[in-house]
Amino acid sequence: MNKSVLAIAIGLVPHMALADYNSIDNYQGKPATDHTIEANKAFAKHLPWEDKTAFERTNRGLVAELEGDATSVRTRFPHYSEMNLDELPNSVNPSLYRQGMLNYAANGLYEVTEGVWQVRGADITNMTIYRSDNGYIIHDPLLTESAGRAAWEFAKKHLPKVNGEHKITGVIYSHSHQDHFGGSRGVIDESFDGLIIAPDKFMESIAAEAMVGGNAMSRRSQYQYGTTLPTTTKGIVDNALGLAPSQGDVTLVPHNKEINEREEWVNVDGLEILFINMPDAEAPSEHVHWIPKYKALHTAELTYDGQHNIYTFRGAKTRDALIWSKYLHELKLRFASEAAVLHQAHSAPVWNDGNGEIAEYLTLQRDNYGFLHNQTMRLANQGVTVNDIGREIEKIIPQAQLDTWYTNGYHGSYSHNARAIVNLYLGYLDLNPVNINPLQTIDKSCVYVNAAGEKTLIKAGKTHYAKGEYQEASQLLNDVLQCNPSNDMARQLLADSFEQQGYQSETMAWRNSYLQGAYELRTGHIADSIKMSSVDIIANTPTSGFLDFLAVSIDGNKAIELGLDFSLTISHPDLGEYYYAEISNGNLTAIQTDKPIKADATLTINKSDMSQILVTELTLANLLETQKASLKGDNESFMKLASTVEKFTPDFDIVPMPVSK
């Protein structure tokens, strides 16, 4: 009798259908329990089902449904074609399932207004297409090269030719997240000679996010997006912003026009566009734009049909909810009455049909982030701490927000966003002295386990589980497993308790994280991670970003043991750029300089060749040997520095894995 069967037999694990979790290719979750079924039914009773305007907006202006390669994302979700709002699955929060159905309904080329089209449903992002004098401008060419190419090839079948061809006359990147530029090589070829427009500090923002914390972010992304889960009603059902991201190569054709002023008019092949930088809300580098000819306002990702993340589970700098609300306030005041249509990087457009629809949409979105910010800090100023603020905010959400689909917490939640806001202002510490210098995770868990005993905690966990108190069960069982990863009874029940919480979660990242945790607990398998840094991103990363990444890759103690204490200048003759670094006390600090600074070692290398080292098998030794680079001065210290650099692998534990994994 195996451990799982033994655990059930003696009553420590709930009696549910056993699955073969050694066969990870056919992984399936367990059924929803009666408690979860009832919880989801109760949740459904308070949702505004009578409001179907989002589906009407999604279907409006359909020119043609997706076909061929452009359907690759949708084919992964066959269950949606057979389901409807009157037949909700037990294992999915009803609000999240409705969001998935809405995103599944986005399926084709749509005319937004005269001269403006969108391809929706070919990726997690919308591709927007504008008619210009001699062709078409592409806004946000999707996440991957294959998706971008397939969407554009599909669109060309239904768009009129201009001067006998479908020429791309300009490309716009709305912001610094991969799903808005990663398909660029799918639409931009060698013949392209137009503008590629990006917001201020575009490449710096990409590098800061993808390089310094990229390895950890890659691993964490597996939880946010549930990358190893099946696309079934017991796995991934939606990705909030869209049905799912496409699969393939993330590319980046560098921009040749950056909007550095707060706002700037640009003529793109005869089309006048006003770009307005709105950084540090949804992304550190982001702009919206206004096109008077079409009376069209594009809000980038400052709006979508749902509440966004102030803090994102994969890891990113906390966003500013206050400035986000002020940006939306500005857009409402400047454009809501004049615009015929508000269109966005995710979700369907909003049209002004005579009832102030755009103003209402912007008002509710603005007030959602504003309420979150202001009420969170009101409570914080009354002494509510970072770990309690999420629960308190949930108690006071205005009914108007609860009754509006497009402010619901599909991507972000009131709870984890409120905690992020407190952390932004006051930090992670609640100032209870017990948390000033906390025990390490395993030691803290063992304090409880050693005091109460494993059997007592498992028995209490089982009791909570039987009552449908899955979070309480998880709290106890996690301590048991942290302290003793070999306890299979705790492992199986912890996985089961995570799974039921996932089935009840309205927020996509909550559901996926709970279910991914259950998957890894049961299988002991950590799959290949999402790559945050593609070849193109690495190749175009500024040297300052590479040096920042190098600094966090150095084993400081090893550098001290080797006695590393020297200075380094890097010169890029092809760009006329210079960087100066000092390595001391196990630390590397580097800045860009106006001119070369005399140093112990000087590396002269073209930036293009340095990029080749990062993305190919070319080595610095190759370049030195062929005299394409030179290293003068303290070569020995430079080579010792190279020996201290660690290579990160995104396979570290998040939940306690089996000892023999």
State pLDDT tens for residues 385-425.
999 999 999 999 999 999 999 999 999 999 999 999 999 99
State pLDDT tens for residues 101-143.
999 999 999 999 999 999 999 999 999 999 999 999 999 999 9
pLDDT at 4 over 60: no
The CA angle 174-261-594, to the nearest 5 degrees, is: 105
Pair 133, 210 in one domain: yes
Domain containing residue 611: 540-643
DSSP-assigned letter for residue 143: S
> What is the residue-wise DSSP string for 271-294?
EEEEEEE-TTSSSSSBEEEEEGGG
| Phi and psi at residue 190, to the nearest 5° | -65, -25
CA distance 495 to 24: 15
- Which whole number is the average pLDDT over 78-94? 87
**Using alpha carbons only, how large is the chain's radius of gyration in Å?**
26
pLDDT for 14: 43
24: pLDDT confidence band, cut at 50, 70 and 90?
A: confident
Pair 71, 201 in one domain: yes
- How many C-beta atoms lie closer than 10 Å to residue 370's C-beta? 17
Pair 10, 43 in one domain: no
Highest mean pLDDT: which range of 23-27, 78-82, 214-218, 443-447:
443-447
- Which whole number is the average pLDDT over 70-92? 88
* Average predicted confidence (pLDDT) for the chain: 93
**Counted domains in the chain:** 3
> What is the residue-wise DSSP string for 81-124?
GG--TTS--TTS-HHHHHHHHHHHH--EEEEEETTEEEEESSSS
pLDDT for 25: 78
Pair 140, 240 in one domain: yes
Pair 557, 584 in one domain: yes
pLDDT at 327 over 80: yes
pLDDT for 660: 67
pLDDT at 474 over 80: yes
- Which whole number is the average pLDDT over 200-229? 88
149: pLDDT confidence band, cut at 50, 70 and 90?
A: very high
Tell me if 77 is assigned to some domain: yes
Pair 22, 66 in one domain: no
pLDDT for 139: 98
Smallest CA-to-CA distance from 305 within 226, 402, 404 is with 404
Tell me if 407 is assigned to some domain: no
pLDDT for 12: 41
pLDDT for 8: 35
- Which whole number is the average pLDDT over 351-366? 97
pLDDT for 343: 98
> Could you give the 3-state DSSP secondary structure of residue 66?
coil
Pair 251, 216 in one domain: yes
CATH of the domain at 326: 3.60.15.30
pLDDT at 15 over 50: no
**380, 401, 416: which is the final residue of a domain?**
380
State pLDDT tens for residues 511-547.
999 999 999 999 999 888 767 667 888 888 889 988 9
CATH of the domain at 627: 3.30.1050.10
pLDDT at 456 over 90: yes
Tell the residue number behind the tokens 């597996």, with chain if given.
222
The CA angle 339-292-131, to the nearest 5 degrees, is: 110
Q: Please give the C-alpha separations between residue 5 and each of 10, 14, 270, 634, 657, in angstroms, as whole numbers.
A: 9, 11, 71, 64, 20
CA distance 421 to 412: 12
Smallest CA-to-CA distance from 169 within 185, 192, 199 is with 192
CA distance 344 to 99: 17
CA distance 91 to 505: 10
pLDDT for 615: 72
Tell me if 414 is assigned to some domain: no
> What is the residue-wise DSSP string for 229-255?
S-SSTTS----SSSS----S----PPP
The CA angle 41-42-43, to the nearest 5 degrees, is: 90
Tell me if 461 is assigned to some domain: yes
Tell me if 387 is assigned to some domain: no
Which stretch of 273-282, 304-313, 453-462, 607-616 has the lowest confidence by average pLDDT? 607-616
- Which whole number is the average pLDDT over 158-186? 97
Contact 281, 327 (CB under 8 A): yes
Nearby residues of 611 by Cβ (< 8 Å), 6 or more positions away: 538, 539, 540, 541
> Could you give the 3-state DSSP secondary structure of residue 409?
coil
DSSP-assigned letter for residue 645: B
Tell me if 509 is assigned to some domain: no
Percent of the chain with pLDDT over 70: 96
630: pLDDT confidence band, cut at 50, 70 and 90?
A: very high
- Strand ranges inside 175-214, DSSP E: 195-199
Tell me if 96 is assigned to some domain: yes
Pair 151, 249 in one domain: yes
Which stretch of 18-27, 194-203, 273-282, 302-311 has the lowest confidence by average pLDDT? 18-27
Q: Please give the C-alpha separations between residue 349 and each of 84, 117, 309, 439, in angstroms, as whole numbers.
A: 23, 11, 20, 50
> Could you give the 3-state DSSP secondary structure of residue 154?
helix
pLDDT for 535: 80
State pLDDT tens for residues 560-612.
999 999 999 999 999 999 999 999 999 999 999 999 999 999 999 999 888 88
Pair 220, 79 in one domain: yes
Pair 47, 175 in one domain: yes
Pair 560, 627 in one domain: yes
Segment holding 334, helix H or strand E = helix 321-335
State pLDDT tens for residues 229-270.
999 999 999 999 999 999 999 999 999 999 999 999 999 999
DSSP-assigned letter for residue 437: S
> Could you give the 3-state DSSP secondary structure of residue 500?
helix
659: pLDDT confidence band, cut at 50, 70 and 90?
A: confident
User: What pTM was estimated for this model as a whole?
Assistant: 0.93
CA distance 155 to 116: 12
Residue 561 burial class via C-beta count within 10 angstroms: exposed 0-12, middle 13-18, buried 19 and up? exposed
Tell me if 423 is assigned to some domain: no
Tell the residue number behind the tokens 């409705």, with chain if given.
98
CATH of the domain at 489: 1.25.40
Pair 151, 300 in one domain: yes
